Structure 1
Amino acid sequence: MKLLRILAAAAMFAGILAGCLALLLLVLLMVRFPPILIAVLASLLPNRASASLVSCSRLRKETMLP
C-alpha cells in the first residue's frame, strides 16, 4: 500500500512538472517568435468578440420597442 502511494505521488509530481515545463516552453516560444503570440491572441479574440456581439444584439432586441 505504501508503494502505491509513493508511485501515485511520483506520477502526480511528474505530471505537474511536465505541465509547468510545457507552459514555460510556450511562453518562451511566444517571446522568441512574436507571430506565435499574434496567432494565439487572434485565436482567442474572435470568440470573445463574437460572444459580446451576440449579447449586445440580444440586449438591443430586448430593449427595442415594438
Structure 2
Amino acid sequence: MNGHPDQHPDPGGEAAARAAQLAAMVVSVAEAAARLRAHRRSAAHAAAEQDASARRAVAAAEAA
C-alpha cells in the first residue's frame, strides 16, 4: 500500500482467490449438468421399460 486506502495490499492473491472461486463454480455447474444428464438417462430408461411392459401386456391380452 502506498497511502491510498482503496488499494489492496495483495492484488495477485485476490486474483488467485477469485480464480479459485470461479473454478469451483465451474466444477459445481459441470457436476450438476452431469447429474441432470444421468437423471434424464435414468428417466428415459424407466419410461422405455414401462412402454415395453405395456406392449407385452397388450400382446398377452390380445393373444388370450
Give the aligned partner of residue 30 of structure 1: 52
> For residues 29 and 36 of structure 2, what CA distance do their matches in structure 1 show?
10
Task: Report the secondary structure of 2:47's partner residue.
Answer: helix
- The one-letter code sitting in structure 2 at the alignment partner of 1:22 is A
1:1-66 equivalence runs, <5 A: 1-34=23-56
Mapped to 1, the partners of 2:35 and 2:45 lie a distance apart of 15
TM-score (norm 1): 0.50
- Structure 2 gaps of 5+ residues are 1-22, 57-64
Bigger radius of gyration: 2
> Which of structure 1's runs of 4+ aligned residues deviate more than 3 A?
none
Matched residue count = 35
Percent pairwise identity: 12
Alpha-carbon distance, 1:28 to partner = 0.1
- CA deviation map 1:9-30 (0-9, x unaligned): 0000000000000000000000
- TM-score scaled to structure 2, two decimals? 0.51
For structure 1, the residue ranges without an aligned partner over 5 or more in a row are 35-66
